[in-house]
Homo-oligomer: A and B are copies of this chain.
C-alpha cells in the first residue's frame, strides 16, 4: 500500500516536471525544453529567446514480424510514456585530437537525461540531451531490460518542427548517394524542386520521397539564424534522412514513383497523425527487407544534432559533432599522420587513360585469366613508367604519398554488374611491379597510397580484406583509398543501411589493427567517427572534384560543403586542378568551375588532414609558381579562425600550421565574386611575416578567364589589412611565414 502511494506521488511529481524541464547551454544562449505531451516525449529549442525547433515529438515505430510492411503487433516507442526521473549534469573537458583544425577542443555542455517509462509495456528508455553553446545533441538510449531486449525498427519518428519557411541547402534524400548538386530553396519549395534536383547531374540512385532530404542540412531563417541538422556517432544504426511535412503531405514516406530505386521495398505510411507543416521527420535507410534496424539492448541511437547560431562562422568552427563522439579508441596513434599526396587518377577521370589493362574480353573472371598472355589496350595508366614519374614528382615537391588507381586486376568489368568476385585486392596488373615501385618510392622518401575499389561487393571485400591489408603491410603502404561504386552486394542492401554502416566501421577497425589509415569514397557521410577512430583520415561522401570532368559543379559548391558535408568529418575533395580547361590536354570538353587561384584556396577552406594535389605533374609544371602554395600549405593545424562566412556565398579562414608559427589563409567565393578585407588580427603581436598572396588576376572568371593570377610577396604584421578581390568562382590563398 505504501509503495503504491509513493509511486503515485512520483508520477504526479514527474508529470509536473514534464511540464517544464528546461536546460540551458553554458552561456545561456541555447535553451532546451523537454516535456511529455499526452504521453509523447516532446522537446523544443530556442536560441537567444528565438524559437529554433518548435515543440516536436520523439519516438520510434517498431516492427515485430521482420518485415516493415507488415509492421504492428509490437508496441511502438511513440506514446504512452511517463517521466520516471530526470538527471541534470554538467561537463567541461578539453581534449587533443590526433589531427584537426585546432590543437585542442573544448567539450562543454549541460546535460539532461530523461528516464521514461511506458507503463503499458513495462519498458523504459532514456532520452539524453546535451546542450552546447552552439546547439544540441540528443539520442535515444535503450537499457537492457526484460521487456526490451531485441527489437526491429520500422521507422524512427524524430521530429524537427521548423519555426519558419527557412532557406535550405539540401540534397535529395537517397539511400545510396550524396553526390548530387546542392539545391537552395525555401523549405516550402523542396517538393516543387525535387524532380529537377533528382535529375540534376543524374547522380540520384534511390530517392524515397518528394520532400526527402539528406543531412547535414544547413538552413538560414529570415531573421538571421543559421540552423543545421545532422547526426553524430552513427554506429550500428541506419543513416538518417529527413522528410519534410509540407502543406501537401498526405502521409509520411510517400514513395517517389519508379525510377532507379525500384528494388527498395515500399515504406509503409506511418499510422500516426502528421505533424504540422514545415516539420522534418527522421527517415532511416532501410535494409533489403525494408526494415530500418535490428537492435539489441543495451544500445542507443546516434546523436541527433541541431546546431544554431546567429553567426554563420559558428557553423564552421563548431566541434559539436566531434564532441558527441566517443574519445579515441586507438591506443597508439603514432602511426596516424596527415597526408599530402598526388596520384594516378585524374587522367582516368578525365578519360585520357584507363583503369583497366585490356579491352580484349567482353567480361572477365579473375580465376580464368592468364594476365601474362593478355593483349594490353595501351591506355593503362598504372604502369611502372608513369608511376615512377609520379613518385619523382612527389619526392621533388614534398608530397608524402602517391595514390595509384587501377593497379590491380579486375577493372575490365568492375562496375554496376552485381558481380561478386570483382577484385582480389592483391594481384597487380603485369605492368605494375608492386615490389619495385614501393622500393623506388621508399628510396625517395615517398610512400605509395593503396587503392581498394570494392565495387560495393562488400562480401568479396571482407573475404579478401585480411590478405589485402597484409599485402599493404608487406610492401609498406600505410593508407588506403577505398571505393563503393555501384549497387551493394548483398543485393538489395543500401549504402547507408545499418549493415553497411557496420561494414565501413569494420574496415576502419580492421585497418587500425594493421596500422592503416582509411579514406573511404562513396561510403556513408561521416558523423564525427574520426574522433574515435582517427585512422579514418578522409571520406568522399559528396560531389567531389571528379564531377568537374563529368559536366561540372556549381561554383558555389565549395562554399556550401563546409556547412553541410564537412560537419561530420573531412572530405577527400581532391582539389588542385590548376589546368581548369580539360580540353587543353584531353578530349574532355568540360572545365572546372573555379579559377586557378580558387583551387589553391580550397586547401585552406576545405579542411582535411588528407589533401590531394589532383592535377597531372605536367600541368603543375606549367604553373610552378602557383603550385608553390600547394607545396607550402600545411594539412594539420594548431588553430583555425573563420573570419567570414555565408553559406553558398563565401568563406574566409585563417589557419596556423601545426607546430609552427606560420599561418595560411584561404578565401573562396561563389559565382558572384567577393571582396575580402582581411584583417591580420590573428598574427602574433610584434612579429613579422613573409606574406605571399595568390590572387585572381583582374578580369579573372571561372569560365572565361580562369587561369589569370597574381603572386605578390610582402612583409606584414598583426593588424595589417589586406584587400583581396575574389573573381566569380575564384578566391585567394595566402601564406604567412613567421620570421
| Interface residues in chain A, defined as those with a beta carbon under 8 Å from any beta carbon in chain B | 65-67, 70, 144-146, 149-150, 152, 262-263, 265, 287-289, 291, 294, 296-297, 361-363, 365, 413, 417-420, 459, 462-463, 466, 487, 489-493, 499, 502, 506
Contact = CB atoms under 8 A, between A and B. Distances in A.
Given A146-B362, A362-B144, A418 B262 contact: no
A163 B738 CA distance: 95
Contacts of A291: 491
Contacts of A419: 150, 294, 296
B492 A288 contact: yes
Contact of A296 (B66, B417, B491): B417
A417 B149 CA distance: 10
Given A417-B150, A418-B150, A463-B462, A491 B262 contact: no
A487 B288 CA distance: 14
Contacts of A362: 144-146, 149
A710 to B, nearest CB: 53
A365 B420 CA distance: 31
A202 to B, nearest CB: 17
Which 6 A-B pairs have CB atoms at the shortest separation, nearest pair first? A288-B288, A288-B492, A67-B263, A289-B492, A490-B490, A294-B418
A66 B152 CA distance: 26
Contact of A287 (B149, B491, B499): B491
A482 to B, nearest CB: 17
A542 to B, nearest CB: 25
A149 B420 contact: no
A489 B66 CA distance: 12
A361 B143 CA distance: 13
Contacts of A288: 288-289, 490-493
Contacts of A365: 296
A418 B288 CA distance: 14
A363 B491 contact: no
Given A362-B144, A363-B296, A462-B459, A418 B66 contact: yes
A463 B463 CA distance: 7
Contacts of A363: 144, 149-150, 296-297
Contacts of A361: 144
A296 B463 CA distance: 20
Contacts of A466: 466
Contacts of A67: 262-263
A473 to B, nearest CB: 16
Contacts of A502: 420
Nearest to A489: B499
Nearest to A466: B466
A365 B144 CA distance: 11
Contacts of A420: 294, 499, 502
Nearest to A291: B491
Given A146-B362, A287-B491, A289-B491, 5 more contacts: A65-B263, A149-B362, A149-B363, A288-B490, A491-B499
A697 B42 CA distance: 76
B492 A152 contact: no
A417 B490 CA distance: 20
Contacts of A66: 262-263, 418, 487, 491
A288 B419 CA distance: 16
A299 B462 CA distance: 24
A125 to B, nearest CB: 16
Nearest to A68: B263
A149 B363 CA distance: 7
A589 B629 CA distance: 83
Contacts of A146: 362
Q: Which of A291, A418, A499 has the most CB of B within 10 A?
A: A418
Q: Which of A149, A288, A294 has the most CB of B within 10 A?
A: A288
A553 B173 CA distance: 53
Contacts of A490: 287-288, 490, 493, 499
A65 B259 CA distance: 10
18 contacts: A65-B263, A67-B262, A145-B362, A150-B363, A150-B417, A150-B418, A265-B265, A287-B490, A288-B289, A288-B492, A294-B418, A296-B417, A296-B419, A459-B462, A466-B466, A489-B499, A490-B493, A490-B499
Contacts of A265: 265
Nearest to A145: B362
Contacts of A418: 66, 150, 152, 294
A15 B245 CA distance: 64
A257 to B, nearest CB: 12
Nearest to A236: B420
A420 B506 CA distance: 13
Nearest to A67: B263
A413 B152 CA distance: 16
Q: Which of A149, A361, A363 has the most CB of B within 10 A?
A: A363
Nearest to A458: B459
A392 to B, nearest CB: 39
A462 B506 CA distance: 13
A65 B150 contact: no
Contacts of A263: 65-67, 289
A699 B493 CA distance: 60
A462 B420 CA distance: 15
Nearest to A299: B365
Nearest to A287: B491
A364 B253 CA distance: 34
A221 to B, nearest CB: 41
Contacts of A459: 459, 462, 499
Contacts of A417: 150, 294, 296
Contacts of A65: 262-263
Nearest to A66: B263
A490 B503 CA distance: 12
Contacts of A297: 363
Given A491-B288, A506-B463, A70 B150 contact: no
A499 B459 CA distance: 10
Contacts of A152: 418
Contacts of A294: 417-420, 491
A260 to B, nearest CB: 9
A242 to B, nearest CB: 24
Nearest to A289: B492
